[in-house]
Every structure is written in structure tokens, then in C-alpha cells.
Amino acid sequence: MGVLEDKGRARLFYKYLSKVYDRINPFVWNEEMRDEALDRTGIEQGDRVLDVGCGTGFGTEGLLQHTNDVHGLDQSVHQLEKAWAKFGKTDRVNFYRGDAERLPFADDSFDHYWSSGSIEYWPNPVDALEEARRVTEPGGTVLMVGPDAPTNTLFGKLADAIMLFYDADEADRMFTEAGYTEFEHVIMQAHPGSPRAIVTVATVPEA
């Protein structure tokens, strides 16, 4: 388990990262990548969407271009403060402080689930994927964005010591163990040489 796959350390990390997050994030996950991922979800106006690990609201901003019923959840109060300053004051988004592995919502509460740049910090990602399936209606989509595993062995070992990096095979295992039967993966990259993102879009199966 990587250093930042600990909830306390991750919260401390984001206490400081939140100050510069919006300037750093586009080098890894930019608007073009986000919008391409959103186009894969089938989100329509009026759909109720949960944004888990919403951070400062970068994904939230994209979701609001598709629906006006967006709910953001994050474990970092510092990240949530940034997101609230952008969207919460206008009551366009409801924000919650919470844990991806123990979501404070009833079964089938949302039409779609979105999470970008959060899974790499989860100690038990399969548990969180099961929670995503639980709170999303059958037939809805669960979209997950995480860091693609480096191809260089040495860098891969270093990366894994920090947080979760995974490839398509590992994504297959996690989603299958969490009860999904229909999903696909796409690799995205902001610039040549920049870190790659692995985007998985899964359909919530019927009970």
C-alpha cells in the first residue's frame, strides 16, 4: 500500500495541495480529457450525479455542463472549501464530507457516479467500487479516472510506494470483484510524456 493510501496522510497532503491544485491539475487531467470522458457517460439534463473525490470542483464544473443536479463528496475539508467557493454559494451543488468506501447515501440514489483523481488514494478500492454500484441505479454509469501504471519498472515501483497505479488488467480485476460485468477502459494523456490516465466506464448491472 502506498504512503498516500492512508486517509489521514491523504487529508494532510491535500491540506497543502489544495492551495495550488487548480494550477497543477491541468498538466495531468485537463478540460479536453474531462470532456471526452463525460461524453462517454450518457449524462443528460436532470440526471442526479454523484462526484466522489470532487476536490476543488474540476470534475464538478464539467458535470454542470450536462446536468444541474450534481452532488460532490470529498474527505478533505480544504478541497471542499475551494469547491464550495466556486459552486456551493449559488446552491447549484450540494457538498458532503465523506468517505468513498462508506457513502452516506441510500441505495440507487443517483443516476450516474463520477470520480476523477481519487481512486489512487483509496485503501480499499474494490469496497469503494461496490459502494459506487450500490448508490447508482441499475443501468446507470460509474466512471472512474485513475493513474495508469508506468511502463518503466523502476518508476512503477516508486509510484506504487506513493499511491495506487494500475493497468487495464488490474482494473478488470477490481471492477469484476466489485460486481460489474460490463465496462471498458480508455487511456488518456494531456501531453506527450505527461502521466497517463486510465478511464473506466462501467454500467451498473441489474440486481
CATH code: domain of residue 153: 3.40.50.150
* pLDDT exceeds 50 at position 36: yes
Q: Domain of residue 145: give its range.
A: 7-34+44-203
101 vs 150 pLDDT, higher one: 101
Q: What is the pLDDT of residue 170?
A: 94
Helix, strand, or coil (residue 122): coil
Q: Is residue 39 part of a domain?
A: no
Q: Is residue 152 part of a domain?
A: yes
Q: Is residue 191 part of a domain?
A: yes
Q: Is residue 2 part of a domain?
A: no
Q: What is the pLDDT of residue 97?
A: 95
Q: Is residue 174 part of a domain?
A: yes
Q: Is residue 157 part of a domain?
A: yes
How many domains in the chain?
1
Classify burial at 11, counting beta carbons within 10 Å of its beta carbon; exposed 0-12, middle 13-18, buried 19 or more: middle
Q: What is the pLDDT of residue 161?
A: 44
Among 139, 131, 21, 171, which residue's Cα sits nearest to residue 81? 21
Q: Is residue 1 part of a domain?
A: no
pLDDT in tens, 3-33: 444 555 545 444 434 444 455 556 677 999 9
